[in-house]
Amino acid sequence: MSSLKLAFLCQLCVLLIGTAFAAFYKGADVSWVSQQEKNGQSFYDSSGTKKDPFVLMKSYGVNAVRLRVWVNPSGGWCDGGDTLHKAQRAKDQGMAIMIDFHYSDSWADPGQQNIPAAWKSHSLSQLNTDVYQHTYGILNYLKNNGISVAWVQVGNEINSGMMWPSGKVTNSNFANLASLINNGYKASKAVFPNAPVIIHLANGYKTADFTWFFDGLKKAGGSFDVIGISHYPSSSNWQTLNGQAEKTLKTMISRYGKKVVVAEIGLSWNEPSASKSMLDDMFKRVKALGDNGIGIFYWEPQASPGWNHYQWGALDDSGKFTAALQSFQNN
């Protein structure tokens, strides 16, 4: 066999092995962690030894983090500097990094998608520029500080659009939203050309909402690579809602030819057994999608009970992770 043929076969084997064993990501959105630590929160392993939360989560099998970015947040939490600090800690543990742009000074979700105060009076044309410059600026800042971003999420739970009223979807008109998304998409690719861009909606069990949204976005020329869902079932309905979320994921793959990710998931911290069972089941369902299923990201598992009125973390009141995170170890 010639050396040329041998080299080709070696390269082919490497490619096939890489494809066959494509990474599955067991992630966590840990955007609150620096603020928690500033507030005095400590984290402990099962034996009661104090640990760095990133080291501790890695020991549970977490291999990726998701970090939200706000434009001009109160206190600086989730701005560029705070995001870099958390990204560096994740990088030190070998974790992949997802950046989640809210395009707001605070929370963006189905109930609120507020334009940043500094952009409030801007026209749609100016907002398109704002989105591009903000996205490019944050990503380039991270890149210049040694951070490689694996995925970029443009907008957060944008079921009815983002940056209201300019980017709100009314009467099924997606034109403005598609324009804003495309500027985020272009900015992301300018810095990290190989990082897939995610569009993320809430209520992953509502398949019809997803097809309505992505049919409209696609028709309007919106660009995206991955579809993300949020999934927050309860201990009494997770079996049903997990199945419905799986239907949504499969529909997104078949209808649009896109990969999918569970970008947010959670269940009440004080029902750890149900949470673990729910997660075990979702891991099984998403892994069954093969390379089309990127992974699952628990939303703020390190949130202590009642932190910012949130109850769906996976930390108990002694600062130890609950049995829910054992699902990340076992899957």
Q: What is the pTM of this model?
A: 0.93
Residue 307 in any domain: the answer is yes
**DSSP 8-state assignment for residue 232:** -
Domain containing 300: what range?
24-330
Q: Has residue 241 been placed in a domain?
A: yes
Residue 247 forms part of a structural domain: yes
Distance CA 174, CA 166 (A): 11
pLDDT of residue 66: 99
Measured CA to CA, the distance from residue 239 to residue 309 in angstroms comes to: 26
- Report yes or no on 10 lying in a domain: no
Tell me the HSE value of 49 on the side-chain side, using a 13 A CA sphere.
Answer: 5
Instruction: Note the pLDDT of residue 328.
Output: 97
Contact at 8 Å (CB) between 200 and 184? no
Query: The tokens of 66 are what?
Result: 């998701």
User: What domain count does the chain have?
Assistant: 1
Q: Which residues of the chain have pLDDT under 70?
A: 1-21
Residue 261: the pLDDT is 99
- CA gap 167, 175 in Å, rounded: 8
**pLDDT, position 21:** 53
Q: Where are the beta strands (DSSP E) in 119-216?
A: 151-154, 197-201
CATH number for position 94: 3.20.20.80
